[in-house]
Amino acid sequence: MRRVLPPYGSMGPCVPTPVDPLQRPDRGSRTHRQSLVTKPSHISSGVLLAVAAAVLFAVNGIISKVALQHGISSLELVSARSAGTAVILLGITALKDPATLRVSRRELGFMALYGLTGIAMVQWLYFVAIQRMPVGIALLFEYTAPLMVALWVRFVQKQPVKSRLWLGLACALGGLALVAQFWKGMTLDPVGLISALGAGAALASYYLMGEHGQRERDPISLMGFSFGFSAMLWAIVSPWPAFPFTRLPRAVDLPGILPGSVPLWLLVLWIIVLGTVAPFLLVLFAVARLGPARVGLIGMLEPVGAGIIAWILLGESLRAIQIVGTVIVLVGIVLAETARQAGEHLPDQDETSTRDIERTSPLPKGMAP
């Protein structure tokens, strides 16, 4: 059984037909065309869901950095995160639709590659980056992924993109130069910078491969298997018998204005449940109400929110020029994100426009895994 997220179009008038966020109506059917509009009541709830996901992703960066500073390595953390997330998402799949647990050999090969590049590398490189540089800046470099996707679509896939892509590229490069302050001889840690940019490239592959993967199956089972392959990789690199289970009960002092301490295992559990599974599911429900483009733009709150939270809790402040650079980068990312959108459509559009919307990925480009 093949199941994918439906393509969601622009905001429009109320329609009486509810849309299952995990199954697409038949192409060309009346239900399919009705799914291209969004109920006004869904708009507000979709915004709240997307904002909640962005906040949880932002907080996850801070929690991860605290865990990394208290006895757990980046490899160990990404291994635990991948394994825990895989178990939960595959468990949800088994309860919702056990038939989707059957996987063909062709699918296994794709999901293994997806898990290794789009999941394992994104997380590990991000964890390395936040160990060596402020969380907000690491996320900013990682979030150049939408720009990389747009460039790939234009020059490799030879698909047309809007002219604003070039303005977005200029803004992103100029803003990153201000953030990194290259004229001072590199004020950021070189390994952290390379890791953050590598995470951005891996995240771009996550988006591009996700577009293909979700033509074959629903996103929850796809991500469950992909996280599973990521967990298998890290179990080979860092075997589970060597995992520091004895450190997990240790108390970790909470940073900044947060009082008291918590055991390390609670931080790891937060990273798995509230830092990965919960925001991922919130993104899916938000996409069902707003469409991937709007959810992606709302996702730009993540690097901003992470920077503010890190400043309050971790004391990671930015210079004025870096703040200006951050704003310019976000403008560039937004321009790149909208450069390959299919435009606004209403239910009376022609079949060609409908196919254009169907090619829009249900994975929002402004949300990291």
pLDDT tens-digit series, residues 285-333? 888 888 776 777 787 788 888 888 888 888 888 888 888 999 999 898 8
**What is the pLDDT at residue 5?**
38
Residue of higher predicted confidence among 21 and 183: 183
Query: What is the residue-averaged pLDDT of the chain?
Result: 80
Cα gap 301→135, rounded to integer Å: 13
Q: Which residue has the higher pLDDT, 225 or 364?
A: 225
Q: Tokens 């179009």 correspond to what residue?
A: 9
pLDDT at 340: 62
Q: Does residue 29 register a pLDDT over 60?
A: no
What tokens does 91 get? 């468990």
The total of other beta-carbon atoms located within 10 Å of residue 332's CB is: 25
Distance from the first to the final alpha carbon of the chain = 25
The contacts of residue 147 (CB under 8 Å, 6+ apart) are 168, 169, 172, 332, 333, 336
Looking at the DSSP bridge assignments, the partners of residue 262 are 252
**Greater model confidence, 364 or 166:** 166
* Highest-scoring range by mean pLDDT, 7-11, 82-86, 188-192, 211-215: 82-86
Which of 6-15, 78-87, 207-216 has maximum average pLDDT?
Answer: 78-87
H or E element: which one contains 68?
Answer: helix 40-68
| 10 CB neighbour count, 10 Å cutoff | 19
SS3 call for 289: helix
> Residue 350 pLDDT more than 60?
no
* Rounded mean pLDDT, 263-281: 95
pLDDT of residue 28 exceeding 80: no
> What is the pLDDT at residue 289?
85
Q: Are 196 and 132 in contact (CB under 8 A)?
A: no
Report pLDDT for 94.
96
pLDDT higher than 50, residue 359? no
In this structure, are residues 150 and 339 in contact, taking their beta carbons and an 8 Å threshold? yes
The model's confidence at residue 367, banded by pLDDT at 50, 70 and 90, is low
Task: Determine the average pLDDT of the residues in 340-357.
Answer: 42
pLDDT at 195: 95
Of the given ranges (40-49, 71-80, 105-114, 257-266), which has the lowest mean pLDDT?
40-49
- CA gap 28, 240 in Å, rounded: 49
pLDDT band per the 50, 70, 90 thresholds, residue 349? very low
Q: Is 201 exposed, middle or buried (0-12, 13-18, 19+ CB in 10 A)?
A: middle
Handedness of CA 362, 363, 365, 367 (dihedral sign): positive
Q: Which amino acid is at 361?
A: S
**Distances, alpha carbon 347 to alpha carbons 4, 13, 62, 241, in Å:** 21, 10, 43, 56
Alpha helices in 69-163, H assignment, sequence order: 74-96, 105-114, 122-132, 135-142, 145-155
Structure tokens at 270: 């937060």
Q: How confident is the model at residue 53 (pLDDT cuts 50, 70, 90)?
A: very high
Give pLDDT, residue 40. Answer: 66
pLDDT one-digit tens code per residue, 85-133 = 999 999 999 999 999 999 988 899 999 999 999 899 999 999 999 999 9
Of 81-85, 198-202, 258-262, 346-350, the range with the lowest mean pLDDT is 346-350
Mean pLDDT: which of 12-16, 41-45, 138-142, 243-247 is highest?
243-247
CA-angle at 200, arms to 199 and 205, nearest 5°? 95
Of 78, 26, 24, 48, give the one whose Cα is nearest residue 195: 78
> Hey, what amino acid is at 257?
I
C-alpha triplet 96, 45, 278: angle, nearest 5° = 45
Cα gap 341→261, rounded to integer Å: 46
Residue ranges covered by each domain of the chain:
39-358
pLDDT confidence of residue 46: 85
Assess whether pLDDT exceeds 80 at residue 189.
yes
Q: Round to whole Å and give the CA distance between 266 and 189.
A: 30
pLDDT in tens, 209-237: 887 888 888 899 999 999 999 999 999 99
Q: Average pLDDT of 23-28?
A: 46
Evaluate whether 213 touches 110 at the Cβ level (below 8 Å). yes
Per-residue confidence (pLDDT) for residue 91, from 0 to 100: 97
The better pLDDT of the pair 28, 121 is held by 121
